[in-house]
């Protein structure tokens, strides 16, 4: 028998197996404990429970010495508002109606049922209500309202920038002391601007119970903007256009153009409207006579050479044949002179050139009496318009 075999045989009676467990000898120096308490040295050294508890004294209610990784797998409970069994100032403030800024800001809020302090709350439809004494809702910077804003009472913007009186249904701009439906007030010059970016007509309408009774309308007449006052699309209106005023006239051509067939010119003449029957467009300053060739009333033609039946002077150029044109019959008019021109003070008669005037300063000349047009008050060198005071014979 070898030495090793004899050694194993000598210690065999000292080992008593218990089931499948292995009993190790006590080498800790403590005859009470069977596994050593000293700090392990090798990776496979065994220690007992007492040693482990001494190094990690952590219970569920204590986190002393624990890290996030040490604690991540433990289960926990969260205290709700209804949980009043726990202790601590932070938890108490959740249920005793006191301020709790350290937890969350709820001093200006309340529960959805409006208690205990009904300041900001929502109803069952999700509508937000703000009911703070003295202020209501105060937005310090800006707020975006998705669809519409409904204000239950008066609306004030910056004291008096904009004020809406919900009782009287009046609006004030620049004032809160409104005394009309729209009250605009300013300490200096200001502008009320209505702009149509499409560059088309604009209208302010006045209505009775259900019908239009008047308008202030900005319209384009003959390519120029005009201000029209009257009933909607009514020719019997006051028109202001290009420095001219028309009464019952859609497109005034005189400084004061009245619907009647007479008016005053800009330089002091009295004009009437007659139909152009010269056979072409009118020529400003041309002398005219009564048209008698056909049965057309209120018409004129160009005078012939040295004509004795002059009735007036054409005011505007370019009026088509068959259309009405202004003819100055009294006062001051610009008369078309022939090539000889004129000087201030000259006596003017019909010229040997059809439609034109000529100078005739021979006193007492009976032969030219019915050719007389008036007296010149403007010098004109050569053919052209010269201003004259009219007095036809």
Rounded to the nearest integer, the mean pLDDT of the chain is 78
DSSP secondary structure letter of residue 319: P
Report the candidate in 111, 92, 110, 112 with the shortest Cα–Cα distance to residue 102: 92
| Percent of the chain clearing pLDDT 90 (strictly above) | 34
Top pLDDT among 243 and 127 is at: 243
pLDDT band (50, 70, 90) for residue 254 = confident
Question: Each residue of 268-297: pLDDT tens digit?
Answer: 999 999 999 999 999 999 999 999 988 889
Q: Is the pTM of this model over 0.85?
A: no
Question: Each residue of 176-227: pLDDT tens digit?
Answer: 999 999 999 999 888 888 888 888 888 888 888 888 778 888 888 778 888 8
pLDDT at 107 (0 to 100): 41
Q: Which of 16-30, 126-140, 163-177 holds the top average pLDDT?
A: 163-177
Cα angle at 39 between 33 and 41, to 5 degrees? Answer: 120
Distances (CA, A) of 107 to 118, 119, 131: 11, 9, 14
pLDDT at 233 (0 to 100): 58
Q: Where are the domains of the chain?
A: 23-76, 86-136, 153-186, 221-255, 261-393
Q: Is the pLDDT of residue 265 over 50?
A: yes
Cβ-proximal residues to 378 (8 Å cutoff; 6+ apart), any chain: 342, 344, 386, 387, 388
Question: Each residue of 292-349: pLDDT tens digit?
Answer: 988 889 999 999 999 999 999 999 999 999 999 999 999 999 999 999 999 999 999 9
- Distance (Å, rounded) from C-alpha 356 to C-alpha 284? 11
pLDDT band (50, 70, 90) for residue 105 = very low
Mean pLDDT, residues 146-160 taken together:
81
Radius of gyration of the CA atoms of the chain, in A: 55
Please identify, in words, the CATH class of the domain defined by 261-393: mainly beta
**Burial class of 310 by CB neighbour count within 10 A (0 to 12, 13 to 18, 19+):** buried
């Amino acid at each position: 028998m070898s030495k090793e075999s004899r050694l194993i045989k000598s210690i065999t009676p000292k080992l008593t197996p218990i089931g499948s467990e292995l009993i190790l000898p006590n080498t800790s120096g403590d005859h009470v404990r069977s596994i050593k308490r000293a700090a392990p040295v090798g990776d496979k050294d065994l220690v007992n429970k007492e040693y482990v508890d001494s190094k990690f004294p952590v219970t569920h209610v204590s986190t002393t010495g624990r890290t996030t990784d040490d604690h991540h797998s433990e289960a926990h409970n969260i205290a709700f508002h209804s949980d009043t069994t726990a202790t601590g100032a932070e938890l108490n403030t959740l249920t005793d109606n006191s301020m709790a800024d350290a937890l969350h800001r709820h001093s200006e809020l309340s529960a959805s049922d409006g208690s205990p302090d009904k300041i900001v709350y929502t109803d069952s439809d999700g509508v937000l209500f703000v009911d703070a004494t003295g202020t209501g809702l105060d937005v310090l910077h800006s707020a975006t309202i998705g669809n519409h804003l409904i204000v239950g009472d008066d609306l004030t913007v910056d004291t008096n920038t904009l004020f809406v009186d919900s009782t009287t249904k009046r609006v004030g701009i620049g004032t809160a002391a409104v005394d009309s439906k729209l009250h605009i007030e300013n300490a200096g010059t200001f502008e009320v601007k209505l702009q149509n970016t499409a560059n088309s007509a604009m209208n302010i309408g006045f209505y009775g119970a259900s019908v239009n009774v008047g308008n202030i309308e900005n319209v384009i007449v003959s390519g120029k903007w005009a201000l029209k006052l009257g009933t909607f699309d009514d020719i019997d209106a006051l028109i202001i256009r290009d420095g001219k005023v028309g009464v019952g006239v859609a497109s005034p051509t005189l400084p004061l153009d009245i619907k009647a067939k007479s008016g005053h010119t800009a330089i002091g003449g009295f004009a009437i409207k007659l139909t152009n029957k010269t056979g072409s467009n009118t020529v400003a300053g041309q002398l005219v006579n009564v048209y008698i060739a056909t049965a057309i009333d209120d018409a004129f033609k160009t005078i012939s050479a040295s004509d004795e039946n002059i009735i007036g002077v054409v005011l505007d150029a370019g009026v088509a044949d068959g259309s009405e044109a202004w003819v100055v019959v009294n006062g001051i008019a610009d008369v078309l002179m022939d090539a000889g021109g004129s000087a201030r003070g000259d006596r003017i008669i019909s010229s040997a050139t059809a439609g034109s005037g000529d100078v005739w300063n021979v006193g007492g000349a009976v032969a030219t009496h019915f050719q007389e047009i008036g007296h010149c008050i403007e010098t004109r060198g050569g053919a052209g318009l010269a201003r004259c005071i009219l007095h036809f014979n």
